[in-house]
Amino acid sequence: MANKKYLDAITQDKEAWNAWRKENLTEGPDLSGANFCEADLSKANLSGANLSRANLIKANLIGVILREADLTGANLVGVLLGEADLSKANLSRADLTGTNLYLTNLSETNLREADLKYTRLLSTNFERADLTGCHLGSGAKYHKCFR
């Protein structure tokens, strides 16, 4: 379950969050299960964060740093992830249906059993990524935000 201190900090003042992250890079914030539906987290430093089972439907994650973050089972449907760094992140069983991954770094990322249907992959870096059991087929899914 997400730590309220971290949840409040990231949603209230992104610049203060990023300054704090620069000073506390070894601390992996627990944001597991958090609801970031349609949130603007662009350019946030979430490296090493635990976002497992988080709801990120239609969130703006352009330029976000999610290096070595845990997004296991996260819902990333319709997310804007352009120019983001997800190197060495864990996206196993994550739903990325309809996600925009242009110029995104997914090198050494775990995408086992992730759902990538209708995903835009323009200039995406998959170097040494684990795509075992990754779903690339068709099939529409409809998702709504629940607050």
Digit-coded pLDDT (tens) for 42-57:
999 999 999 999 999 9
pLDDT at 33: 97
Surface-to-core class of residue 20, CB atoms within 10 Å of its CB (0-12 exposed, 13-18 middle, 19+ buried): middle
Q: Does a structural domain hold residue 11?
A: yes
* Mean pLDDT, rounded, for 84-98: 97
pLDDT at 3: 86
In whole angstroms, what is the distance from residue 130 CA to residue 147 CA? 33
Domains of the chain: total: 1
Per DSSP, what are the bridge partners of residue 35?
Answer: 55
pLDDT per residue as tens digits for the range 16-29: 999 999 888 888 89
Q: Does a structural domain hold residue 147?
A: no
Range of the domain at 77: 1-135
pTM assigned to the model = 0.90
Q: Does a structural domain hold residue 20?
A: yes
User: What CATH number is associated with residue 52?
Assistant: 2.160.20.80
